[in-house]
């Protein structure tokens, strides 16, 4: 298994630099297979979502579609894929940021009753409490 960094993953979705797109897609085709998948860790996934959202102004529906493509791609393994899959409806609905939703899911899965935050938007989620 080989880890895939955000910038390589992005080139598979965003066609903005022809040379890097070709290099990234060639690399992934040669090195990420069902027998030896590429690994997308949760930090890379959060950076991927953030960059599509803030850098490229993708709509949430398009970002969800991109994540769903990653989740069903047999040549890739997405860390915490069950948590990622479960949070997609809330993310698509615009209820919170992707990273906040993933933090909540991971923390709950690890026994946290709540997550303390200064982020007022995240604090509106059931799994967070605002630190005052």
For residue 95, CA distances in Å to 10, 100, 112 come to 24, 10, 21
Rounded-to-integer distance, Cα 122 and Cα 69, Å: 26
The pLDDT of residue 129: 96
- Mean pLDDT computed over 23-48: 97
The pLDDT of residue 15: 86
Rounded-to-integer distance, Cα 115 and Cα 103, Å: 8
- Mean pLDDT computed over 26-48: 97
The pLDDT of residue 2: 96
Q: Is the CA virtual torsion 119, 124, 126, 130 positive or negative?
A: positive
Instruction: Tell me: pLDDT of 48 over 90.
Output: yes
By 3-state DSSP, what share of the chain in percent is helix, strand and coil, each rounded to 5? Answer: 55, 10, 35
Q: 105: closest CA among 93, 115, 117?
A: 115
Percent of the chain with pLDDT over 90: 91
Write out the H or E segment, with its range, that includes residue 71: helix 60-72
């Amino acid at each position: 298994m080989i880890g895939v960094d955000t910038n390589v993953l992005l080139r598979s979705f965003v066609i903005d630099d022809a040379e890097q797109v070709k290099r990234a897609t060639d690399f992934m085709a040669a090195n990420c297979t069902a027998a030896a998948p590429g690994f997308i860790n949760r930090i890379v996934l959060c950076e991927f979502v953030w960059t599509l959202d803030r850098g490229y102004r993708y709509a949430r529906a398009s970002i969800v579609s991109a994540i769903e493509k990653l989740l069903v791609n047999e040549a890739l393994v997405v860390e915490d894929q069950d948590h990622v899959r479960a949070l997609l409806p809330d993310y698509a609905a615009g209820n919170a940021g992707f990273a906040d939703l993933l933090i909540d899911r991971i923390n709950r899965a690890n026994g946290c009753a709540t997550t303390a935050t200064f982020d007022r938007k995240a604090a509106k989620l059931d799994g967070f409490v605002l630190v005052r």
